[in-house]
Amino acid sequence: MSFREKIAWAAFVTTLLAWGGYFAVVIARAANGGTHDPMLFWLFLAAMIGQTVLVVAVAIVSAILAPGDAHAAPDERDRRVGQRASALAYGVVLVAIAAVIVWLHLGLRGTNIIFALIGVFILGEAVRFGAKAIGYRVGG
């Protein structure tokens, strides 16, 4: 597994774990009283910092184990895998934005709009990282 594939898998898994946990709490709060809670801000920071630390840790360990791989410039396959993943994520984000707009007309209000938009962004990133990781697995 190449350095870039390891990073893609690490980013994908940590996105699911960190932001899945974050949105589980947000959705629970939204269903039980509301999302006007400073705790959610700290949870947001924790998810962001936690994910960053985990991905950086994977990158450091991978670079130590295979320094040549880590320093190799991206080649045509890396670029193609990245372009396909970005294109797929863009499509998913467009559909998700449309869903949020529909939801606005069905009663989405206040801070929940912000959480929905954060969710769209995170969904897009999860799809991008996941598509990248799978793209490497299947060959490019």
Partner 1 sequence: MAKQPIANQIRTLRFLAGEMTQAELGEKIGLTRQTVAAIEAGKYSPTLEAAFRIARVFGKPLEDVFQWED
| Structural contact between residues 131 and 83, judged by C-beta atoms closer than 8 angstroms | no
Q: Tell me if 77 contacts partner 1 by CB under 8 A.
A: yes
Handedness of CA 65, 70, 76, 77 (dihedral sign): positive
Q: Tell me if 48 contacts partner 1 by CB under 8 A.
A: no
Q: Closer to partner 1 by CB, 31 or 76: give it.
A: 76
User: Binding marks (x or -) toward partner 1, 5..24, rule CB under 8 A?
Assistant: x-------------------
**Using the rule CB under 8 A, which residue among 10, 19, 78, 127 binds partner 1?**
78
Q: Tell me if 38 contacts partner 1 by CB under 8 A.
A: no
Kindly state the number of chain residues that form the binding site for partner 1, as judged by CB under 8 A. Answer: 14
> What distance in Å separates the CA atoms of residue 85 and residue 128, rounded to the nearest whole number?
5
- Amino acid letter at 30? A
Q: Tell me if 84 contacts partner 1 by CB under 8 A.
A: no
- Joined together, the tokens standing for residue 129 give 């990282």
With a CB cutoff of 8 Å and minimum separation 6, the contacts of 54 are 10, 14, 18
**Using the rule CB under 8 A, which residue among 72, 94, 98, 117 binds partner 1?**
72
> What distance in Å separates the CA atoms of residue 93 and residue 139, rounded to the nearest whole number?
25
Residues that bind partner 1 (CB under 8 A): 1-2, 5, 69, 72-73, 75-78, 136, 138-140
